[in-house]
Amino acid sequence: MEQNSLNQFNADELEAPKWLNAQFIAKVLSKYENEPQLEVLDLKISPASAKGDHYASVMFRTSVEYKTGKGKFSKSLIVKTMPEQEGHKKDLLKESHLFETEIDMYGNVLPKFEKILREVGDKTQLYVPCIYNSLEPHHVLIFDDLIPLGYKVMRGREATNEELQCSLSKLAKWHAVSMKILNEEPDFLKEFKHGMVEIPNFAEEPMISMGMDNFLQFLESQPSLAKYIPLFEKMRRDYLQHFFSYMTEHRNNRREDGYYVLCHGDFHLRNMMFKHDNDTGNLQDCMLLDFQISNLCPLTVDVVYSIYMLMGPEQRANDWENLLNYYFSILLETLKKIGYEGDFPTSNGFWKQIYRSKYFDFFMVSTLLPMIWAMKVQGIDLSEVVEKNESRQKCFEIPGLVDDMTIILARFEKLGYFENL
């Protein structure tokens, strides 16, 4: 592999861990296929994700040729594990519940979700089956590779409205099923309490703690946005506290008028793959991935997140309301289909909850949206943004960001987000 092509991968994915070898893969496949005599004939390992795709895990693609008593076979697998390079990142992830959460999602929650949908004739596939998982001696999950099945991660362009509707439809069905379970079997999901803000030392991470400072510097550099400086200065000291309260509302301060679900937690384009017909180009499916911070929280956590991390600037400007209304229509349709017996969400209540999430919007705009712009336009590495302030500051220098911010902040003003700060 040439050096130029190596640069597109994360450093900790360039060399597979020593334990990821033919013996290990033989053990996994032997158990999965119930073939005690399975023998690996050839194994090739390569990085499975591009730079910036993930921070909390590393992924490898293993192309394996093997034989059993039934003959010779080949298979492509995706191995997801924890970074092994020593340093702050490894220490932080070791203290988290990320892999425990994802293993529980694949092993218990998502199969139950799909079963509920199947019982009413809905064949939506919410996840890729996990063929192996372990926490000891290594944190690892293994899946069939989706690429041979025609799925691809979207790169080099924004999603179309059709693709966004596909992903929001799956999210809505997921949310609907979780509402039913919360209403009928609340204890089944009670352990899902480790969301984004519960990641160890989340608030102390410089990307988070310095996000508003860098955003204010950006506003100061843009005369057309200067009028917003006093407003963000006013919330500077306590906006993270409001944001954390919103994210943990289900656990700490549940509201009578709140709509709560098991959310995905990181609902963005790099955490899904799309399948199109090879001949026509027509969209056939999308698949949601990466459930490491799925947790119980307001329904609008995933929905608001999608505005900034899933939609492109044109959709944020022109289509965001229609797309969110589409999501809500699928949510209601699915709740009716699966026999939900709780109080049904109303459109008015849904939009009130959207507007009540304003401090989450402030966090997204000041901290994560510039990062997404930088990753898309300049290919800035997510790890660099997390760990280096100069990289975070560069995120605000991306062409197009000012126009995007101008539209978003004007909308905040129109909706009254800056009142009663």
Within a domain: 314 = yes
The one-letter code for the residue type at 231 is L
Residue 140's pLDDT band (cuts 50, 70, 90): very high
Domains in the chain, number: 2
Give residue for tokens 């939609």: 311
Write out the residue range of the structural domain in which residue 229 sits. Answer: 98-129+153-415
The CA distances from residue 30 to 5, 37, 214, in Å, are 34, 7, 52
Collect all residues with Cβ–Cβ distance below 8 Å to 280 and sequence separation of at least 6.
none
The CA distances from residue 307 to 24, 100, 222, 301, 315, in Å, are 41, 28, 23, 10, 8
Which of the pair, 250 or 84, is modelled with greater confidence? 250
User: Which H/E stretch holds residue 67?
Assistant: strand 58-68
DSSP codes, 159-176 = PPHHHHHHHHHHHHHHHH
pLDDT recorded at residue 48:
82
Helix or strand or coil: residue 46? strand
What mean pLDDT is predicted for residues 24-31? 96
Within a domain: 143 = no
Within a domain: 214 = yes
Structure tokens at 27: 């053990």
pLDDT at 89 over 80: no
Q: Are residues 222 and 351 in the same domain?
A: yes
How far apart are alpha carbons 264 and 295 in whole angstroms? 7
pLDDT recorded at residue 181:
98
What mean pLDDT is predicted for residues 323-349? 97
Q: Are residues 61 and 18 in the same domain?
A: yes
Alpha helices (H) along 185-248: 206-209, 211-220, 229-235, 239-247
Q: Are residues 227 and 248 in the same domain?
A: yes
pLDDT at 51 over 80: no
Q: Are residues 327 and 233 in the same domain?
A: yes
Q: How many CB atoms are located within 10 Å of the residue 406 CB?
A: 15
Q: Are residues 38 and 124 in the same domain?
A: no
How far apart are alpha carbons 158 and 268 in whole angstroms? 12
**Is the omega angle on the peptide bond into residue 137 within 30 degrees of 0, that is, cis?**
yes
pLDDT averaged over every residue in the chain: 90
Within a domain: 144 = no
Q: Are residues 263 and 362 in the same domain?
A: yes
Q: Are residues 268 and 331 in the same domain?
A: yes
Within a domain: 259 = yes
Within a domain: 136 = no
Residue 258's pLDDT band (cuts 50, 70, 90): very high
Structure tokens at 385: 């943004």
Q: Are residues 269 and 353 in the same domain?
A: yes
Structure tokens at 258: 């709140």
What mean pLDDT is predicted for residues 274-295? 95
Backbone dihedral angles phi then psi of residue 258, each to the nearest 5 degrees: -85, 145
pLDDT recorded at residue 144:
94
Q: Are residues 163 and 14 in the same domain?
A: no
Residue 365's pLDDT band (cuts 50, 70, 90): very high
- Per-residue pLDDT tens for 197-233? 998 888 888 888 889 999 999 999 999 999 999 999 9
* CATH of residue 168: 3.90.1200
Q: Are residues 340 and 233 in the same domain?
A: yes
Backbone dihedral angles phi then psi of residue 123, each to the nearest 5 degrees: -95, 15
Q: Are residues 218 and 356 in the same domain?
A: yes
CB 277 within 8 A of CB 152: no
CB 297 within 8 A of CB 250: yes
pLDDT at 134 over 70: yes
pLDDT recorded at residue 57:
80
The C-alpha angle 167, 242, 401, rounded to 5 degrees, equals 55
Largest pairwise CA distance in the chain: 73
pLDDT at 85 over 70: no
Backbone dihedral angles phi then psi of residue 64, each to the nearest 5 degrees: -120, 135
The C-alpha angle 90, 91, 96, rounded to 5 degrees, equals 95
Q: For the chain, how far is it from start to end, CA to CA, in angstroms? A: 54
pLDDT at 4 over 50: no
How far apart are alpha carbons 302 and 322 in whole angstroms? 16
**Which is nearest to 269 in space by CA: 152, 392, 96, 411?**
152
Bridge partners for 256 per DSSP: none
User: Which H/E stretch holds residue 276?
Assistant: strand 272-276
What mean pLDDT is predicted for residues 157-179? 97
CB 253 within 8 A of CB 245: yes
Q: Are residues 71 and 111 in the same domain?
A: no
Within a domain: 140 = no
Give residue for tokens 């795709």: 53
Query: Among 52, 85, 118, where does a domain finish?
Result: 85
Within a domain: 142 = no
